[in-house]
Amino acid sequence: MFLQFLLLLLALPFCTPADTITPTQPLRDGDVLVSKGASFALGFFSLGNPNHRYVGVWYYNISKQTVVWVLNRDDPINDTSGVLSIHTRGNLVLYRRDSPLWSTNVSISSVNNTVAQLLDTGNLVLIQNDGKRVVWQGFDYPTDTMLPYMRLGLDRRTGLNRFLTSWKSPSDPGTGEYSYKMEVSGSPQPFLKKGFEPIWRNGPWNGLRWAGVPDTDNGFIFKVNFFNNEDEVSGSFSIVQPSILSRLTVDSDGLVRRYTWQESDRKWVPFSFAPAELCDNYGRCGPNGNCNLYTADYFECTCLAGFEPKSAREWSLREGSGGCVRIQGANLCRNGEGFIKVAQVKVPDTSAARVDTSLSLEECREECLNNCNCSAYTSANVSGGGSGCLSWYGDLMDTRVFTKGGQDLFLRVDAITLAQSKRKKNTFHKKWMIVMPTVGVALVTVLMVSLSWLATKNRKGKERQHKVLFNLSLNDTWLAHYSKAKQVNESETNSELQLFDLSTIVAATNNFSFTNKLGRGGFGSVYKGQLSNRQEIAVKRLSKDSGQGVEEFKNEVTLIAKLQHRNLVKLLGCCIEEEEKMLIYEYLPNKSLDSFIFDETKISMLTWEKRFEIIIGIARGILYLHQDSRLRIIHRDLKASNVLLDVDMLPKISDFGMARLFGGNQIEGSTNRVVGTYGYMSPEYAMEGLFSIKSDVYSFGVLLLEIITGRRNTTYYCDSPSFNLVGYVWSLWSEGKALDIVDVSLAKSNHANEVLRCIQIGLLCVQEFAIDRPTMLTIIFMLGNNSTLPPPNQPAFIMKTCHNDAKSPNVGACSINEVTITMDAR
């Protein structure tokens, strides 16, 4: 009998579920509570300081401990005396040395059968009456992480507004300075703020998605939901594919990131983040300004129609935060005013906007027109063709242009601006209607006479061009992969490429005269030319003994013709005739970046402001290649000599002979043929043939340091004989002397902090392990903001011994000529 009682007594602790805290089964420091499906765990943990103990929830079934919720984030326990238990009055209480430190502090009608349970959603709930009533839940008090099914926003019944706040740092879960919160006034929208200062906003819910996140594929991986009723106004997300682990965080560096767990690499991968580019920053172009990164103009800010810059001087200096004001004398009250459509935009801040879901879009227009204070309107719901009315009264803040997924905004303008807009639309049509009757007979006559000759010539030309281009791409495996992935045919791939006659190029370059020669590279020589229409061109002529050759030529012809960006050099066409193979580019008068930054005379022309513009331009060009172009491209040979400068010193990335194209969501690959330039290649690529978007990031980091220092990366320093430029910068950075290596022409610059920040970004880019390097999106954000940067890890650099060269003009330094190399990866 005693033995049976003892066995029963030993079995009692195991009768309590492993996911539950009961009045008789508390959670002590060292215990771990695991949810029923083993998805999440609850327990005590430490981070940077082992003497600081926190109670939190983390993922249980992945190797990397990832904390998603912290109970006592601002009040850690400094020993292991912590206990989380059910109080005699039914509340969940955290004790430190038997003294209460925290409590759920809710009204419990009956203490009986009250337990705390960790659910498979990651939610810790306090349940009463055998699981029938949840009286408190951790999801109502989130920290920095939003999990699937968690709702952020206002509970109208209780007044509780659930929002995220960042950690102080990756090793300190205390309440940080960034918050992500639903602002419920006007048309509700989530805001990212630093203190009380808005940093970025999602935009309002437009019936399909958050208006400020147009690239959200709602329903493929995530399903985003919005609730706005008498009980609450909140947002949540769920996972369409249950096998995917995902979370959204507001991080200590001021970014909102959505992560997914990549089991193959055992790591969290950022799926998206914001703010990601300049126009994401709240109020970048001020009141009544419109931010557009896709215009040909280098400055991203423009004024909305009917407005002009508030400060012309600031606008000329590319400072747009002051915004725009109405053009003086404009009358918008019952004086012939109307509306202009501003297409594909993130609608302005809706905090003070009015919403009326009962109106149609036409009724919305009439209501706005009849109110002289109404400045713009649009649909409140774009699904199903559009419905509801969203209207603004006063200034329009934080408008920006999207390439896709934006919304049409109808802007109130005065009669003069309205007439000018209509005139522009009708100009082409009117001119054509006037010209057509006049020249109609003549055209018919000319066409009839020339039809036979033109048909013959065009047929032969097309046959020759298609034959040449088809032969170029016939054996190109990566192009075949792209064609299959994108489902485009050969003629579509090459439709934008012009084929030049050899005689045209010979005449343009004065028979490739020496006086027209601009330089020579691994591909061959480059010549300046002028076409008969006086357009200046640069001709890249494939040398017969080129170390690169036909493969690189094919690569550049089939690749760059599809790329259009202001920071990429424009390919006009090619010439393939007899044994000649040539690429025809736009001519850029200032040649390449290396001719400035490595020239003692010219480098003084580059002020810090100009260098910073060049750095930003290069970064935008690479981001376009990695993410925003129709193709996903890794350049693989980014260096100073492959960055050209136009007449305004705008940088344009060139030379795509080494580039590789990726399909779909591919971001990395491998090769047995390593090509590139010594000093710019990342270690994983040079040694193992592994390349990715992070390979280009490494090259960008090297180039950034060269621009700042005015020194080649292949220069070695005899006062520090084991370091090249990257290593030398790292050693000075570690000693707090990074400014010692900055180019002397910047010595009198007033931008020391900005220069130091750029050096730190450069060192982040050249870290040894690719996973540690930021993406180009992150880099552009870091360049354009003053958020706290993480400390860089030691970079990858090659150990060398320097031998002084008596012929070198730079005593104490020696260098290796820049060469493009090809080698087999081991």
In this structure, the answer to whether residues 695 and 761 fall within a common structural domain is yes
**Amino acid found at 453:** W
pLDDT value, residue 632: 73
pLDDT value, residue 615: 95
pLDDT value, residue 76: 96
Mean of pLDDT values over 469-496: 37
The label of the residue with tokens 């999440």 reads 40
The label of the residue with tokens 């771990």 reads 32
Mean of pLDDT values over 397-419: 92
Mean of pLDDT values over 471-478: 38
Here the tokens at position 211 are 């208006």
pLDDT tens-place string over residues 197-208: 999 999 999 998
Q: Could you tell me which of 542, 653, 539, 515 has the C-alpha nearest to residue 587?
A: 539
Mean of pLDDT values over 478-487: 34
In this structure, the answer to whether residues 289 and 321 fall within a common structural domain is yes
Residue partners of 445: CB distance under 8 A and separation at least 6: none
Q: Please, which pLDDT band fits residue 522 given cuts at 50, 70 and 90?
A: low
- Number of domains, the chain: 4
**Amino acid found at 672:** N
Domain end among 527, 558, 587: 587
pLDDT value, residue 602: 87
pLDDT tens-place string over residues 743-790: 887 866 778 889 999 999 999 999 988 888 999 988 988 888 777 889
Please check whether residue 200 lies inside any domain of the structure: no
69-73, 102-106, 381-385, 447-451, range with the lowest pLDDT: 447-451
In this structure, the answer to whether residues 479 and 523 fall within a common structural domain is yes
Q: Is 718 exposed, middle or buried (0-12, 13-18, 19+ CB in 10 A)?
A: middle
**Amino acid found at 157:** R
Q: Please, which pLDDT band fits residue 78 given cuts at 50, 70 and 90?
A: very high
In this structure, the answer to whether residues 462 and 547 fall within a common structural domain is no
DSSP calls for 340-365: EEEEEEEPPP-TT-EEETTS-HHHHH
Map residue 750 onto helix, strand or coil: coil
Q: Cα angle vertex 494, ends 646, 551, to 5°?
A: 80
Residue partners of 366: CB distance under 8 A and separation at least 6: none
Rounded distance between C-alpha atoms, residue 59 and residue 65, angstroms: 7
Rounded distance between C-alpha atoms, residue 812 and residue 551, angstroms: 41
Tell me whether residue 637 is one of the annotated catalytic residues: yes
pLDDT value, residue 436: 52
CA distances (Å), origin 165, targets 123, 137, 160, 192: 17, 18, 15, 9
User: 25: which strand partners?
Assistant: 22
In this structure, the answer to whether residues 554 and 636 fall within a common structural domain is no
Q: How many residues does the chain have?
A: 826
- pLDDT, greater one: 162 or 48: 162
Q: Is 642 exposed, middle or buried (0-12, 13-18, 19+ CB in 10 A)?
A: buried
User: Dihedrals φ, ψ of 206, to 5°?
Assistant: -110, 15
**DSSP H/E element including 456:** helix 415-473
Here the tokens at position 213 are 């996140």
Residue partners of 110: CB distance under 8 A and separation at least 6: 90, 128, 129
Residue partners of 457: CB distance under 8 A and separation at least 6: none
Q: Is 68 exposed, middle or buried (0-12, 13-18, 19+ CB in 10 A)?
A: buried
The pLDDT of residue 628 is above 60: yes
The CATH number assigned to the domain holding 606 equals: 1.10.510.10
Domain end among 550, 569, 587: 587
Q: Could you tell me which of 425, 396, 211, 402 has the C-alpha nearest to residue 306?
A: 396
Residues placed in the known binding site for ATP? 540
Residues placed in the known binding site? 540
Q: Please, which pLDDT band fits residue 342 given cuts at 50, 70 and 90?
A: very high
Mean of pLDDT values over 118-142: 90
User: 116: which strand partners?
Assistant: 21, 126
pLDDT tens-place string over residues 269-299: 887 889 988 899 999 999 999 999 876 466 8
Please check whether residue 773 lies inside any domain of the structure: yes
The CATH number assigned to the domain holding 516 equals: 3.30.200.20
Please check whether residue 186 lies inside any domain of the structure: no
pLDDT value, residue 111: 64
Rounded distance between C-alpha atoms, residue 685 and residue 678, angstroms: 11
pLDDT value, residue 99: 92
Long-range contacts of 808-811 (CB under 8 A, 24+ apart): 810/715
In this structure, the answer to whether residues 700 and 713 fall within a common structural domain is yes
Please check whether residue 245 lies inside any domain of the structure: no
pLDDT value, residue 57: 98
- pLDDT, greater one: 183 or 7: 183
The pLDDT of residue 82 is above 80: yes
Q: Express as a percent the part of the chain with pLDDT over 90.
A: 45
In this structure, the answer to whether residues 657 and 724 fall within a common structural domain is yes
The pLDDT of residue 86 is above 70: yes
Rounded distance between C-alpha atoms, residue 729 and residue 672, angstroms: 32
- pLDDT, greater one: 309 or 687: 309
Residue 275: is the preceding peptide bond cis (ω within 30°)?
Answer: yes
pTM over 0.85: no
Please check whether residue 228 lies inside any domain of the structure: no
| Average pLDDT score, the chain | 81
Q: Express as a percent the part of the chain with pLDDT over 70.
A: 77
pLDDT value, residue 73: 96
Other residues' Cβ atoms within 10 Å of the Cβ of residue 477: 7
Query: Could you list the residue range(s) of the whole structural domain that residue 574 is in?
Result: 475-587
Domain end among 519, 554, 587: 587
Mean of pLDDT values over 410-439: 70
pLDDT value, residue 718: 53
Rounded distance between C-alpha atoms, residue 181 and residue 144, angstroms: 11
In this structure, the answer to whether residues 458 and 496 fall within a common structural domain is no
pLDDT tens-place string over residues 540-584: 887 765 545 566 676 667 666 667 788 988 888 888 887 788 889
Mean of pLDDT values over 784-805: 69
Please check whether residue 684 lies inside any domain of the structure: yes
DSSP calls for 247-299: EEEE-TTS-EEEEEEETTTTEEEEEEEES-SGGGSTTTT-TTEEE-TTSSSSS
Q: Is 529 exposed, middle or buried (0-12, 13-18, 19+ CB in 10 A)?
A: buried
In this structure, the answer to whether residues 455 and 556 fall within a common structural domain is no
pLDDT tens-place string over residues 703-738: 999 999 999 887 655 555 446 889 889 989 999 998
pLDDT value, residue 492: 35
The pLDDT of residue 487 is above 60: no
pLDDT value, residue 488: 32
Contact 200, 275 (CB under 8 A): yes
Mean of pLDDT values over 614-622: 93
In this structure, the answer to whether residues 314 and 403 fall within a common structural domain is yes
Other residues' Cβ atoms within 10 Å of the Cβ of residue 238: 12
Rounded distance between C-alpha atoms, residue 240 and residue 205, angstroms: 20
128-137, 399-408, 546-555, 601-610, range with the lowest pLDDT: 546-555
Please check whether residue 147 lies inside any domain of the structure: no
User: Dihedrals φ, ψ of 123, to 5°?
Assistant: -90, 125
Residue partners of 683: CB distance under 8 A and separation at least 6: 768, 796
Given the DSSP bridges, would you call strands 289-291 and 399-401 parallel, antiparallel or unpaired?
parallel
Residue partners of 495: CB distance under 8 A and separation at least 6: none
Q: Could you tell me which of 282, 224, 220 has the C-alpha nearest to residue 248?
A: 224
Please check whether residue 253 lies inside any domain of the structure: no
For 536-621, list the strands marked E by DSSP. Answer: 536-542, 571-577, 580-586
The pLDDT of residue 105 is above 70: yes
Residue partners of 482: CB distance under 8 A and separation at least 6: 488, 631, 661, 663
In this structure, the answer to whether residues 612 and 723 fall within a common structural domain is yes
**Amino acid found at 465:** Q
In this structure, the answer to whether residues 639 and 682 fall within a common structural domain is yes
- pLDDT, greater one: 148 or 386: 148
DSSP calls for 657-676: TT-EEE-TT--EEE-SEEEE
List the catalytic residue out of 19, 637, 696, 743.
Answer: 637
